[in-house]
A and B are shown apart, each in its own frame.
Chain A
Amino acid sequence: MSQTTKTAQEATDERFYATPSVDIFENNDEILVVAELPGVSPEKLRIEFHDQQLTIEGEQSPFDREKALGLEFLPTHYRRVFQVQQRVDVDKIAAKLEQGVATIHLPKAPETKARTIEIKRA
């Protein structure tokens, strides 16, 4: 029952909520997040890092549904939140949006980087 109510609310809201597909990679220097957000322009993309939480949020431009002959997607509101374990150098977070795909670089804070320790001979 509650499921039905939820669907009805979402549909009357004129927007469709979706979870973007995401890839997460890591190397010694950074965490790399790649998110698919087709139809989201750079102005409508919001990337936030707060309290070790990465939030990716984007909104597709609306379109006139009155003239639709067939719809497989609605103006979509994308949102996804990740809890990040590692310390991140927040000031150096960088992102770009290309072909509807956002690439977010989260550089690791220097103290969390794995270090190879040289063993000195006595």
Chain B
Amino acid sequence: MLTRWGNFYGLNHTLPVFDELRQQMDHLFKDLERGWVPTPLRREGLQARTWPKANLFDQGERLLLTLQVPGLKEENLTIEANAETLTVRGERKVQAPEGYRAHRQERASLQFSRSIALPVRIDVERVAATLQNGILSIEMAKAQEVLPRKIEVHTSAK
């Protein structure tokens, strides 16, 4: 499933609820102008089915994607990058320990594949991932062609 990015939380909010609604409407109209099919509104709590939850940041020369993957180890994760899309696949098995009876089981075994459409092209040779405290961080260098180019001004020779 390909997911498009939007601003799900107001970054500058005096009345967050309305800000968010306004932003969502703005995005919806922008999408319609561009001819994109609108994706359902995403809000924490309303759509618990998206797993893993992800954040995307612009760090200037890089994009940073962070995903919540509690219980997954390096060997359970696969990351695939192409210039415009990043795909993360993984599997987690949750089992009741042997000899124990379960009172409550809210954590589930799961298998996922999540593809994220990136807002700019990236250099697939310069993608690095780290896993810490159940958060997978993927740093992607933006492609040279999308970085702002510095143009040197030469003084004309006399």
* Residues of A that sit less than 8 Å from B by CB: 4, 7-8, 11-12, 16, 21-27, 32, 34, 36-41, 63-74, 97, 99-101
In-complex Cβ contact of B44 among A25, A32, A72 (8 A) = A72
> Looking at chain B, what size class is its interface with the partner chain?
35 or more
B59 x A68 contact (CB < 8 A): no
B11 proximity list for chain A (CB < 8 A) = 65-66, 68
Contact of A100 among B7, B54, B70, B103 (CB under 8 A): B70
Q: Residues of B with Cβ closer than 8 Å to A?
A: 5-11, 13, 15-17, 42, 44, 50, 53-59, 63, 66, 68-73, 94, 96-97, 99-107, 119, 131, 133-135
Q: A39-B135, A71-B8 are in contact. Are A22 and B56 (CB under 8 A)?
A: no
Top 3 closest A-B pairs, CB basis?
Answer: A100-B134, A70-B5, A38-B134
Q: For the complex, what is the distance from the CA of A68 to the CA of B119, rounded to whole Å?
A: 12
The reply to whether B119 and A69 form a contact with Cβ atoms under 8 Å apart is: yes
Q: How far is the CA of A97 from the CA of B6 in the complex (A)?
A: 33
For the complex with contacts A65-B9, A68-B57, 8 further pairs of A-B residues with Cβ separation under 8 Å are: A24-B102, A36-B134, A69-B63, A70-B8, A72-B50, A74-B44, A97-B133, A100-B68
Q: Which residues of B contact A70 (CB under 8 A)?
A: 5-8, 54-56
In the bound assembly, the distance between CA atoms of A50 and B105 in angstroms comes to 24
Q: Is A99 touching B44 in the complex (CB atoms < 8 A)?
A: no
Let me know if B134 and A64 touch, CB within 8 A: no
Contacts of A40 in B (CB 8 A): 133-134
Given contacts A16-B44, A38-B70, contact A26 B101 (CB under 8 A): yes
Q: Considering the chains assembled together, what is the distance between the CA atoms of A63 and B69 in angstroms?
A: 17
Which A residues are CB-close (under 8 A) to B55?
63, 68, 70-73
Closest residue of chain B to A68 (Cβ to Cβ) is B57
Q: Which of A21, A67, A71, A73 has the most CB of B within 10 A?
A: A71
A–B pairs, 17, beta carbons within 8 Å: A4-B17, A11-B17, A23-B96, A24-B104, A26-B103, A36-B107, A38-B68, A39-B133, A40-B134, A68-B57, A69-B58, A70-B6, A72-B54, A74-B9, A99-B72, A99-B134, A100-B133
